Each structure stands twice: as C-alpha cells, then as structure tokens.
Amino acid sequence: MRRIARGLAVLGVVAATVAPVPAQAQIRLFHPAELGIRFNPDGVPGQCGGRTGDQWAEERTWTDAIRFDTDSRPGGCQLAFGVYDPDSDLEGVSLTYDLRSTPGGDPAQCGNQGTFRMPISRGARTFGPAVRIDTDSRPGACNLTLAVPQIGQTYVALDIQYDPDGDPAQCHNTGRSWAETDRGPVTIGIDTDDRPGGCRLQLRLRVGTG
C-alpha cells in the first residue's frame, strides 16, 4: 500500500507541475479564402442557367458553372463577384472585373459598364456591384475582363474555364486561362442570341503558390 500511495503522490506532483501550452504555441486553425459569384436572372429565368443565386468556393476549388444564354426573351443576367478572406491571406491584393460592350455594338446589351473591385472582406461574405448581360440579336457583344492588377507578398491567380455548349461563335476566347499580375488580365466575350446553346463559366481562386 505504501508503494501505491507513493506512486500516486509522484504522479500528482508531475501532473501539478505540467505548465499549460503558451497561446502562441497553440495550433492555428486555417480558414481558406473563398471566391463568391452572385448570378441572377432579371427576366425569363432560362436565360441564366447553371448555378444561380449566391455561391462560395474555397481557394483551389472550382465554382459551379454559371451559364449565359440571353436572347430575344425578356430580361438578362445580373453578375457580381466577391472574396471572403477570414485569415487576411490576400492583404495588399486587388482583383477586378470589368464589363464593356464591343466596339460598334449596341451598348444597351451590357448594363452597368465599368471596372469594379471584388470586395475582399474578412468579416462577411459580400459582393461588388452587379453588371448585366443581355446580349441578343442586336449587333455586338459584352466583354467581361477579370484581372489581378495589384498583388502583395502572396501569389494570387484566378483560373478561368469558359466553354460553349452549342454554337461556339456565341462564346469568345474559350478554353482555360488564368489572370495574374505577370500574365495580365483575361477577357471573355459573351454574344449569346437565338442560336442554339450558350456559354458556361467557372472560376477558381489560387493563393500562395503557382
């Protein structure tokens, strides 16, 4: 019994002398950045397909595809982007989207034209201003340009997958490409009308390495 008591006493002393792990030595939880797309119809819903509403995809994960198929039916598609960055991994980084009508085309097919920053928010998932695509049989199209014009110490790229699922002439600069500071912006053209099919777009954010 004395040996057991002595052993328990020793264990008690050891347990009492173990110091708590310093806060700075504790494991830090990783919260990846997320890329958001807001995509909604403002007329006949069938013109804006794939994943509508709001979606958020963690970095290195492709977003669900959105699909442009605007034509002579009423209305068009509202589109906006944002970045959620809970760990401030994108500090000093800027990402932008720009919508312009093609030269000589009907500018009314491309609403709220201009260049807008994707808001990079640590506290909440938010979107920038919406642009509007309503291409149809009128002349011209809309060019959507995605860019990473400024970058901090961290490498950031925006991967773009853009493909037709019908008449390929409705979708300009298709295939896979990526926007980053060294490579410059990427522009895709949206010219859907009454021809068969539409254009599918997916994006992926990459942070930290090439």
DSSP letters for 143-187: EEEEEEEE--SS-EEEEEEEEESS-GGGEES-EEEEEBTTTB-EE
Closest CA to 172 of 82, 100, 74: 100
55-98 tens-digit pLDDT: 999 999 999 999 999 999 999 999 999 999 999 999 889 999 99
Confidence of residue 6 (pLDDT cuts 50, 70, 90): very low
- State how far the alpha carbon of 96 is from the alpha carbons of 118, 148, 198, in Å: 5, 6, 24
58-70 confidence digits (pLDDT tens): 999 999 999 999 9
pLDDT at 8 exceeding the cut of 50: no
Is the confidence at residue 12, as pLDDT, over 50?
no
Q: What percent of the chain has pLDDT over 70?
A: 85
Can you give the pLDDT at residue 150? Answer: 78
| CB contact set of 81 (below 8 Å; sequence gap of 6+) | 35, 36, 37, 38, 95, 97, 118, 127, 128
Q: Is pLDDT at 4 greater than 90 in this prediction?
A: no
Does 3 score more than 70 pLDDT?
A: no
Average pLDDT value for the chain: 87
pTM of the model: 0.84
Answer whether residue 108 shows pLDDT above 60: yes
Given a cut of 50, is residue 110 above it in pLDDT? yes
The confidence score (pLDDT) of residue 107 equals 96
Q: What is the pLDDT of residue 209?
A: 62
Question: Could you tell me the pLDDT band of residue 154, with boundaries at 50, 70 and 90?
Answer: confident
Tens digit of each residue's pLDDT (9 = 90 or more) over 19-31: 454 444 344 467 9
| Structure confidence at residue 210 (pLDDT) | 59
pLDDT exceeds cutoff 90 at 53: yes
Whether the pLDDT of residue 38 is over 90: the answer is yes
Q: Which two tokens stand for residue 171?
A: 């979708």
Burial state string for 14-29 with b = 16 or more CB within 10 A and e = fewer than 16: eeeeeeeeeeeeeeee
Per-residue pLDDT for 106 more than 70? yes
CB atoms under 10 Å from CB of 204, counted, come to 19
